[in-house]
Amino acid sequence: MHSSQISVAAPDRALAVALQNKIDRKTKPLGALGQLEILALRIGLAQQTLTPELRNPQLLVVAGDHGAAKAGVSAYPQDVTWQMVENFLAGGAGINVFARQNGIGITVVDAGVAHDFGPRPGLVNAKVAPGTRNYLEEPAMTAEECAAAMARGAELIHALAKQGCNVVGFGEMGIGNTASASLITHCLTGTSLADCIGRGTGLDDAGLARKRELLAKALKRSGPVKDPLAVLAEFGGFEIAMMAGAMIAAARAGMVLLIDGFIVGSAALVAARLAPALTDYCVFCHCSAEPGHRAQLAALGGSPLIDLGLRLGEGTGAALAYPLVQAAVNFLNEMASFESAGVSDKES
């Protein structure tokens, strides 16, 4: 992505007073809808209207493989990435179930899976390369590959915008990608590496110790890296880079961004470091069971809508939280005010 395509304008806050007044005049005690009120204000500001609407909700499920996966950072073999893409296309994964339930469309994207799918209905081929390099030995991707992945992410958003979509969720698949997210989170938040590393797909104690050892080795190889694009190229996956580019493009288009858990959060961290106003367009959908996710949320100023102990990825947290996003918009648009309902306000 060109530097001119990375900036995101913060929403004009001139509307905030009118929005807050509309929220406060609903037939309820002040603040009685809690986080839904904060969310309604955020969405109204993002869309610059007192009557926001959610049109054609879509979820991007972006898949990529990681060179470091073969070194043993995950409990699962790398082939699971492409096998799960097949599961997405067949409609059988967790994300398919929850997206169907809530009327969200899914776009499955091959950002860099180590498998040749051939032309397939329902699969967008945006493959940069068949998986990243092993960051234990060298940077995961070149600066050019990283930029290409981000630019393709932006193209995905432009295509959704043409279909009238103004709310987009992000999900991912990539064996080894919690390790990538741990390294990115450590580098960009300063949280200790140990506090950023979890069990991912279900490592046992020995596997967790090995993961910690391998990621410490990766950091030793790279030396200190703080620049967000450099961190992304060193340790990221093509799916993470593609989501980061897509998020920036979505915020630039004034869309509402549904941010999932730990891996999607690592892409959001990169995107928000590049374009700080991006977070004004984000809904932080849930708190992952991965330990590093809390560090991400703290760094992004995110207050998660749900905390169900989820750690599946795929965008499942975003799909499950979506009815709450709808509820925030619906109460703002449909709930009576004290005036319209003829209900007496509290005596001041």
Confidence of residue 5 (pLDDT cuts 50, 70, 90): confident
Give me the chain's average pLDDT, please: 96
Q: Residue 1: its pLDDT value, please?
A: 66
Q: Which run of H or E residues covers position 41?
A: helix 35-47
Residue 201 pLDDT > 90, yes or no? no
C-alpha dist (Å) from residue 159 to 88, 169, 246, 320 = 20, 14, 11, 24
The identity of residue 4, as a single letter, is S
From 314, 334, 339, 347, active-site residue: 314
State the Cα–Cα distance between residues 190 and 168, nearest whole angstrom: 29
**Structure token digits, residue 188:** 């960009």
Give the pLDDT mean for 43-59.
Answer: 98
What percentage of the chain has pLDDT greater than the value 70? Answer: 99
Q: How many residues appear in the chain?
A: 348
Q: What is the pLDDT of residues 275-330, one digit of tens each?
A: 999 999 999 999 999 999 999 999 999 999 999 999 999 999 999 999 999 999 99
Confidence of residue 204 (pLDDT cuts 50, 70, 90): very high
State the Cα–Cα distance between residues 310 and 327, nearest whole angstrom: 22
Whether pTM exceeds 0.85: yes
Sequence-ordered list of residues with C-beta below 8 angstroms from that of 127, at least 6 positions apart, any chain? 110, 111, 112, 113, 238
Confidence of residue 3 (pLDDT cuts 50, 70, 90): low
Domain covering 13-52+332-341, topology: 1.10.1610
- Chain centre to alpha carbon of residue 136: 25
Confidence of residue 331 (pLDDT cuts 50, 70, 90): very high
Q: Residue 263: its pLDDT value, please?
A: 98
Q: Is 234 a catalytic residue?
A: no
Domain covering 58-328, topology: Rossmann fold (3.40.50)
Could you tell me which residues are beta bridge partners of residue 107? 60
Q: Residue 72: its pLDDT value, please?
A: 84
Q: What is the pLDDT of residues 209-257, one digit of tens each?
A: 999 999 999 999 999 999 999 999 999 999 999 999 999 999 999 999 9
b/e string for 307-341 if b means 16 or more Cβ within 10 A? eeebbbbbbbbbbbbbeebeebbebbeebeeeeee
Q: Residue 311: its pLDDT value, please?
A: 95
- Chain centre to alpha carbon of residue 344: 43
Region for residue 58 given its phi and psi (left: phi exceeds 0; alpha: psi -120 to 50; beta: otherwise): beta
> Per-domain residue ranges for the chain?
13-52+332-341, 58-328
State the Cα–Cα distance between residues 163 and 63, nearest whole angstrom: 22
Give the pLDDT mean for 156-168.
Answer: 98
